Chains A and B, each alone.
Chain A
């Protein structure tokens, strides 16, 4: 018997004790449940590992067990989970423990925020670091209000291209788990009563991995750490999801218009998804979708109306930021802009966040390079030209 195996077994037993206590169950029941969750006939494998002080020999079992226990709050902390994975010989114990205990993103954010200046303007890619995200206070209140109740509700975010939908989805995913030190002062983090309980899953339908029905289902199950059958059909997907979902889980569906017009995602698929959200998960699953135009209209245009969309009782349309929010973004520049330039930026951008970022960035570069007085404005106008459609969408 290896010493490492014995330590892994001790940690496993501790986790099972904890689950039994938290869920008010006997250990035997927990053994059986974990055994079933691992795809076995009962808890005998778990008992074997504990009584013979062994770690599972298959890496797959180690990982699945760690995931299942994490989902049931069995690990006291990340240190325990990390130690278990390490003693059981998992090659990526660092990464997996961070991922499972939900510190993956926030840790990165903390690190990044410590080394990066607060005020870097971002042009092009979505904003992934919460401290660089500005505005949308009303939308955030609406969305988190919908997620905070006894049964979570679903939200649809509609906004033109470059209106900031993807950044908002990433912000939602991260903000409640980011420590205040990694944020700007007075940036709210307390939106949910129990943020640690929530699982977040971001899906971008532009991602080729999810552009088929099976790819989508496999991706969702795998990312949430649920068992993935070799060939996953809709019935299995619904069954596994309903059976394994214990924690509040929010799935963020970005660019959903792609899926709605994709023949891979049939009527049955959307029905199943609706059933899963409405009736099979007792309010523990919520969907937040983002689309460039109203998906209901899109579905009608494609002759595929879907009652799926009826579960979205809250539809938000992303417009420009409020002037106060826009000013906050502008003032985050490391070098202050002249008042006249601020007015010009506010007016020219129409307070659209993407345009604000471009204009501020151009102004900042001009300040740093000390270019001619108004030369930067020409450049800035040229830079925002591709995004004029934002103003049209507003009209």
Chain B
């Protein structure tokens, strides 16, 4: 395996390396990893550890590619110039130059700068100079291009750690450039002989006499030795003595090559080789020294940019002294700068410029793959996403390609996911995954697959918006699973109903959502909704037999106008209406025992009264927190105003709190003004004060004023026919002292038990399509037990439904006498608060004892007045009157018995 990898690796060529460095840096890294995992991406041979340097694979790799580069350059130049029909002497000269540059630049750069730049710089310069050798005025262009491209590679490496170009880097870059300019100035002075008083002149005046050449080249070699030693010391972090031999060797090479260059005859092989060697050495030196200095001061980015600019532009000037028949022009600087910058920014503009062409290429591949049914995909590996790593835009159509791959080659798709997960193409991957997920979700054909959707799909997207979009599906899938795991059909239906509601809500959100993917998922919600809805319908239809009876009964809470279970009371409603509509009627006092349905009646009164009446419901217990009359009146008036507006759209005048004015006067004025508006609109305000006894504490607290206000109320009732008062409570007038003078002439309406027909309706048909049916004796038995007491009917029926729901499906829908008896027994416990209240605060202990005795006589038991009085002589008359007033017993031909069997049972049961 390893051998295969290595052999494949050795199949790489300098062309591969150039492509990797410029377009696909990860492949370069991968190649290095195959040699030695510890090798840095940018390294020179000198900076490696002894172990790394001794690695035979590395040596072989470098050597092979070095040879291949030389051969490739020479061959390429030969072929190109031959095809261009260039004259043979010039062709040969070009080949000598190419050979020289190819031989010198890669090893020198690999040794002291970086291996990657060695191939790029060596390849580009050698090839460029070889091809342009006869156009000496443009010789700087390949050098500028090589500088730019090499700088681009170094820059890309540096930008992985440092993103922005800051002032420190700018300073480093300038330092590098200035130092290079200084060196070039000194170097040119030496090489041109000016410093020695001998001007060598422009190339073409050579060969020089040997003694001048010796002086010049030795001086140049020494200068090179000094600077290069410092550069190498800095680059390798080694002592000067350690790098001196290498610097000396380089100095020797440069001296000798310059010497030969100066003394040899133009265009001879020695001349050309020495020109190539000396030029190549100088280029390497300029690039490396600038890069090293700027890098030291301003960091890697500064180094890369400074080195590129120096190499790219300096040759415009250096050509004056080193290139024969070169004519300096100002425009060359601009050209060189542009070429250098183009090279430096290669990785920026290349993806943009190449995008349309590569997109066509990609599309061609997709068409080929989608037309063939080959699996795995044959051409997908050639897609630009796999090699163009500099592209930050998402490749058009890549998402579709990935979907195709996922369908044909799931294993390959998993690899693609790994590949693209941290690349700019991640968005295409995400789009593909979303689409695949949507397809998976849409393909759920039944509830089992919906419940499994949370397992089959990958929900965790790093994009929070997408996660937000998808998380409801995961949640609903879990909810469906949970609903299917419930133990009863009823709970399954309840759970599915909940999911359906969630789905509907989510679908509305998706429709409104600005997110691009949301519309795609509305199709999924619609599909799921159909499945869930069908299941609910099927459960309802097929398993109707098993489902539980919905319990419509309400115990303890008043029934408002939204609740169907309110029945009867039409006689009282009619009576109230006739009393209210007559002029100058006294206040009404609706009186009834606790839990007889007084509040429910008030809450449902609206439906029965003509629309001219504006009913205002006030709960005395809710107002009990007020301690000041002023606050109470303000609240009441505001309630009247708001109800008048809500029910009839009438705007009654506001009352503004004015502490310095008499409240009495303010209220009087408000009533006068409001009355006029009510008359004008033919409206009557009915103030319904429930539990009015609870206001007694506030009346007691304001004793001094209360008579005055009650007088006002009386005046209102008598002279303001558009204001009506209805007081509702469970006490008779003799029990409420504070109100007695005000209500002494009140018209009392008593609310008692339901009529038998109303009771039967509440038992058998409390709501439409009620599913419980009774054997006739069973419903009659409830009537017997409760005698139409609304609370007791509701309580027994509630317990009965709960009981039936505990039974098997075959027994569930028919109530028997035994069921009613069991429900009645449960009611004694579940309504214990009601019974305790009946036997406790509503009567005194002596009356309780009398009733205990009566209860012990059995269900039909009764007792004559005389016998009862004999058994309980103390305060008998008063106690009997109390029992009668509380509607606990009744007189039937001189015999007393309990009015309601359930209440008798409680007295007989007496658990507390």
Contacts and interface: CB of A to CB of B under 8 A. Distances in A.
Interface stretch (B304-312, B354-362, B363-371, B478-486): B478-486
Contacts of A18: 509
- Grouping DSSP codes into helix (H, G, I), strand (E, B) and loop, the B interface class, with mixed when no group exceeds half, is helix
How big is the A interface, by class? 35 or more
Given A180-B478, A237-B625, A294-B832, 9 more contacts: A18-B509, A77-B468, A151-B557, A153-B557, A180-B481, A268-B697, A278-B558, A307-B621, A315-B831
A313 B621 contact: no
- Interface-central residue, B478, B498, B625, by most chain A CB under 10 Å: B625
A190 B494 contact: yes
A42 interface: no
23 contacts: A151-B554, A154-B556, A179-B478, A186-B487, A188-B486, A188-B491, A194-B498, A235-B625, A238-B622, A269-B625, A275-B619, A278-B558, A279-B619, A282-B560, A294-B833, A296-B833, A305-B840, A310-B594, A310-B837, A311-B557, A312-B833, A314-B555, A316-B829
Nearest to A316: B830
10 tightest A-B contacts by CB?
Answer: A313-B555, A313-B556, A234-B625, A275-B622, A271-B621, A305-B841, A296-B836, A190-B495, A268-B624, A275-B621
A193 B494 contact: yes
A278 B551 contact: no
A279 B830 contact: no
B912 interface: yes
A171 B726 CA distance: 44
B551 A149 contact: yes
A190 B488 CA distance: 10
Contacts of A271: 620-622, 624, 691, 694
A283 B625 contact: no
B830 to A, nearest CB: 5
B624 A272 contact: yes
A296 B840 contact: yes
Given A77-B471, A274-B621, A310 B481 contact: no
B468 A76 contact: yes
Contacts of A95: none
Given A193-B494, A268-B697, A297-B912, A188 B487 contact: yes
Interface in A163-211: 179-180, 186, 188-191, 193-195
A141 interface: yes
Contacts of B626: 235
B896 interface: no
Contacts of A153: 554-557
A151 B482 CA distance: 26
Contacts of B622: 238, 271-272, 275-276, 279-280
- Interface-central residue, B468, B509, B837, by most chain A CB under 10 Å: B837
Interface string A293-329: 0111100100001010111111111000000000000
B830 A180 contact: no
Given A272-B625, A310-B833, A180 B485 contact: yes
B802 interface: yes
A64 B467 CA distance: 27
A235 B631 contact: yes
Interface in B837-859: 837, 840-841
B464 A315 contact: no
Contact of A280 (B619, B620, B830, B832): B619
Contacts of A156: 833
A275 B695 CA distance: 13
A138 interface: yes
B806 interface: yes
A394 interface: no
Interface string A111-155: 000000000000000000000000000100110010001111110
B137 to A, nearest CB: 54
B166 interface: no
B482 A180 contact: yes
A141 B625 CA distance: 36
A272 B621 contact: yes
A21 interface: yes
A341 interface: no
Contacts of A191: 491
Interface in B440-499: 464, 467-468, 471, 478, 481-483, 485-487, 491-492, 494-495, 497-498
A365 interface: no
A315 B557 contact: no
A295 B481 CA distance: 42
Given A76-B509, A315-B830, A315-B831, A238 B625 contact: yes
Given A141-B802, A279-B622, A296-B832, A312 B556 contact: yes
A193 B497 contact: yes
B624 to A, nearest CB: 4
Interface of B: 464, 467-468, 471, 478, 481-483, 485-487, 491-492, 494-495, 497-498, 501, 508-509, 512, 551, 554-558, 560, 562-563, 594-595, 599, 603, 617, 619-626, 631, 690-691, 694, 697, 791, 794-795, 798, 802, 805-806, 829-834, 836-837, 840-841, 912
Contacts of A310: 556, 594-595, 833-834, 837
Nearest to A268: B624
Interface string A219-236: 000000000000001110
Contacts of A29: none
B468 A233 contact: no
- Interface-central residue, B623, B694, B836, B912, by most chain A CB under 10 Å: B836
B386 to A, nearest CB: 35
B524 to A, nearest CB: 18
- Interface-central residue, A233, A237, A271, by most chain B CB under 10 Å: A271
A354 B363 CA distance: 72
Contacts of A234: 624-625
B681 to A, nearest CB: 27
A345 B595 CA distance: 45
Nearest to A154: B556
A282 B561 CA distance: 11
A317 B467 CA distance: 47
A79 interface: yes
A145 B800 CA distance: 13
B837 A296 contact: yes
A374 to B, nearest CB: 38
A315 B478 contact: no
A265 B830 CA distance: 25
Contacts of A268: 624-625, 694, 697
B283 to A, nearest CB: 48
A280 B617 CA distance: 10
Nearest to B631: A235
B525 to A, nearest CB: 16
A340 B366 CA distance: 73
A315 B486 contact: no
A300 B621 contact: no
A191 B483 CA distance: 11
A138 B794 CA distance: 20
A150 B563 contact: yes
Contact of B795 (A274, A280, A313): A313
Contact of B482 (A77, A190, A277, A316): A190
A278 B557 contact: yes
Interface in A255-277: 267-269, 271-272, 274-277
A305 B837 contact: yes
A310 B472 CA distance: 42
Given A190-B498, A193-B497, A275-B621, A150 B556 contact: no
A76 to B, nearest CB: 7
Given A190-B494, A278-B599, A283 B560 contact: yes
A366 to B, nearest CB: 34
Contact of A190 (B486, B794, B805, B829): B486
A376 to B, nearest CB: 34
Nearest to A286: B557
- Interface-central residue, A153, A156, A191, A269, by most chain B CB under 10 Å: A153
Interface in A14-46: 18, 21
